[in-house]
Structure 1
Amino acid sequence: MSKRSFEKRRVGTTGLEVTTLGLGGASLAGIFSAVPEDQARATVRHALESGITYVDTAPQYGLGRSEHLVGEVVRGAHPRPVISTKVGRLLRPVSPERQDKGNWIDPLPFDQHYDYSYDGVMRSFEDSLQRLGLERVDILYVHDIGVATHGVEGNRPLWKQLEGGGYRALRELRDGGVIKAIGLGVNEWEVLMDAFALGDWDVFLLAGRYTLLEQTALDPFLSTCLDRRASVVIGGPFNSGILVGGDTFNYAKASEDVVRKVRAIEAVCREFGVALPAAALQFPLTHPAVCNVLPGPRSPEELDGILAWWDAPIPHELWTTLAERGLLAEGTPLPPASSTIS
């Protein structure tokens, strides 16, 4: 098959460039529902064959399964895509009957232990290389630090680990040329503002907080990214499914207020003959800090649907109408009338 021609954007001030569409590795590892391993591998392979050059994974995803599956495919890829994985969780073997599987269906037989310390970051990085079967990755994210995951009291000692040594480990890896970029991968923008106080970062993976439905990250976070020359990868562009016809928002049943807003946005999309998921997928790239949108298809067929939404033309008037009707936050950047954003 012929590869598509995707726009590429630079990651922060690094030499890395990524296609504006990426592949997220969480769903492939079987969150909420099982994904056969052959299907997962075929999805990664299809993404690379389609021209996508950025793949994200993490130890948490399937408790090691995602890294194994991604590594099996990308090891044979030429050229190799940009790979990101995450630190902050160490995996320890456990018998299946005692395992806390969380929302993972058929994960590998490990439990996760949070560790954001210097030694924990270094150990997590080395473990990920072994699971991937690779000699390097390009981007390391600090995964799920913050009150949304750990609560106020639970996060304090973990933040002290990052502040006291974890950040230094990341800087040593990046400044020594072992990796090319460092950041955080979270679901809340507030902790990213705290991260700026620790030092400089290249890229943040933020899920769900800058989408067609929600622009809470617009200011001060995204404006600070522009000032600090940090890029943003947007995960969860469909807000857990509500923007692709589901009833889930932020991993829970959507409230009536959320449903009403989605219906209003969808009505505008219908006026311009645009599918709601297409607008949702392309929207984040209207912001100049955003370098990539990261959906998580479960199969080659789902990826083909995403590619069709990605290719869908979006009239400039759709964005301006959303803004005029108060369906986008004030100050949301809109693309120039003559531009395409995918």
Structure 2
Amino acid sequence: MNKSASAATFPKRRVGQTALEVTTLGLGGATLASIFKAVPDDQARATVKRALDMGITYYDTAPQYGFGRSEHLIGDALRFRQEGTVLSTKVGRLLRPVRSEVDRKYEHNWVNPFPFDQVYDYSYDAVMRSFEDSLQRLGLPKIDILYVHDIGVMTHGVEGNKPLWKQLETGGYRALNELKRAGLISAIGLGVNEWEVLMDAFELGDWDVFLLAGRYTLLEQTSLDPFLTTCVKRQASIVVGGPFNGGALMGTGMWNYAKAPEHIVKRVHELEAVCKKFNVPIGAAALQFPLAHPAVCNILPGPKSPEELDGILDWWSTDIPDALWEALADAKLVAPGTPLPNGKVA
């Protein structure tokens, strides 16, 4: 049985060891920047406004999203409603102007992006410049969380990542800590799609929060150990991005930004069959599942319209019987050792 979306409640959780607290549901800004499909600017702003009206306090964006579009739109929506909100953006890509699409170096999936291209740079100077540039694009006086964006072999390859990691190691990490010590930001972390690079990050020092997309979901718990267990020990929080695995858990047939392979489609069908036995939408189970882990502070979907957000809010408020989680564990559809929302462990 679904409660009304207007009755949704959002407990808050602390971000690492910082003073920041975020609602357990947030809003990601990639989709609003028209990835794969055009989203009118007014619709994007209305989506953020709806989230604000519903009591969601955490918003994430990045220079890469629409090559500046997402930061502009989220800044517009938050500009006069920022009190009590927590905002994150990212470093690692500087934006340079281009006069035409043929001048772009990198392929992309943005529809009608702003006339900029990305330049990967994780150095001290680049982090400082990226922070200042983001404040300008946002038109806001503060950013709460800065993530290092898409560093790792998934984006750059093994050899391509080595010099970029060296930039982070020798300068970028120091810049993030200087901004935090100066009180210009409140938390630092990484925003990536692969948990392995986050284990490497722990070798550089301490971090407050990681935005990990797609690697701790109802579909996949590959990051459970050693990564999430290390986060608990190091008192670092996790924001779960991509809770639907790029659409796979919403029935779109997509996974990791591409068509889902057959084994993923099969797994989704198995999960969906269990959910149907309990009359629970698989989207509701996907949203609520990761919150059972003590390291997780927030679930970050990316709705593209107020109506889509309302659907997410309905899933968020769905009552899920404890027996569903037990059935998933019994069917070995979640990894052994996974904390379940019914208080048990798979």
Instruction: Tell me the TM-score normalised to structure 2 length.
Output: 0.95
Distance 1:191 1:92, change over 3 A: same
The corresponding residue for 1:153 is 159
Letter in 2 for 1:303: L
Instruction: Tell me the TM-score normalised to structure 1 length.
Output: 0.97
Give ranges in structure 2 of 5+ residues lacking alignment.
none
The corresponding residue for 1:27 is 31
Bigger Cα displacement from structure 2, 81-90 vs 97-106: 97-106
**1:53-132 equivalent positions in 2, closer than 5 A:** 53-77=57-81, 79-100=83-104, 102-132=108-138
The corresponding residue for 2:239 is 233
Contact kept, 8 Å, 1:99 with 1:109, in 2: the verdict is no
The corresponding residue for 1:175 is 181
| Structure 1 position 98, deviation (Å) | 2.6
Equivalents in 2 of 1:83, 1:25: separation in Å? Answer: 11
The corresponding residue for 2:47 is 43
**1:199-218 equivalent positions in 2, closer than 5 A:** 199-218=205-224
Letter in 2 for 1:96: S
The corresponding residue for 1:188 is 194
| Structure 1 position 111, deviation (Å) | 0.6
| Structure 1 position 93, deviation (Å) | 0.6
Report the secondary structure of 1:302's partner residue: helix
Equivalents in 2 of 1:337, 1:189: separation in Å? Answer: 25
Aligned residues: CA RMSD = 1.4
Equivalents in 2 of 1:323, 1:3: separation in Å? Answer: 30
Letter in 2 for 1:282: Q
The corresponding residue for 2:309 is 303
Equivalents in 1 of 2:154, 2:103: separation in Å? Answer: 23
| Structure 1 position 336, deviation (Å) | 3.6
**1:127-146 equivalent positions in 2, closer than 5 A:** 127-146=133-152
| Structure 1 position 320, deviation (Å) | 1.2
| Structure 1 position 178, deviation (Å) | 1.0
Q: Sequence identity of aligned pairs in percent?
A: 70
Give a deviation string over 1:125-181, Cα, whole Å, max 9, x none. Answer: 000000001111100000000000000000000000000000000001112211000
> Is 2:229 the counterpart of 1:223?
yes
Contact kept, 8 Å, 1:74 with 1:80, in 2: the verdict is no
Equivalents in 2 of 1:24, 1:253: separation in Å? Answer: 22
Letter in 2 for 1:57: T
| Structure 1 position 260, deviation (Å) | 1.2
Equivalents in 2 of 1:310, 1:194: separation in Å? Answer: 33
Contact kept, 8 Å, 1:63 with 1:109, in 2: the verdict is yes
| Structure 1 position 256, deviation (Å) | 1.5
Letter in 2 for 1:26: A
Give a deviation string over 1:262-293, Cα, whole Å, max 9, x none. Answer: 11111110111100111011111011100000
Equivalents in 1 of 2:255, 2:244: separation in Å? Answer: 9
Letter in 2 for 1:311: S
Letter in 2 for 1:93: P
Give ranges in structure 1 of 5+ residues lacking alignment.
none
**1:235-254 equivalent positions in 2, closer than 5 A:** 235-254=241-260
The corresponding residue for 1:261 is 267
Equivalents in 1 of 2:310, 2:193: separation in Å? Answer: 26
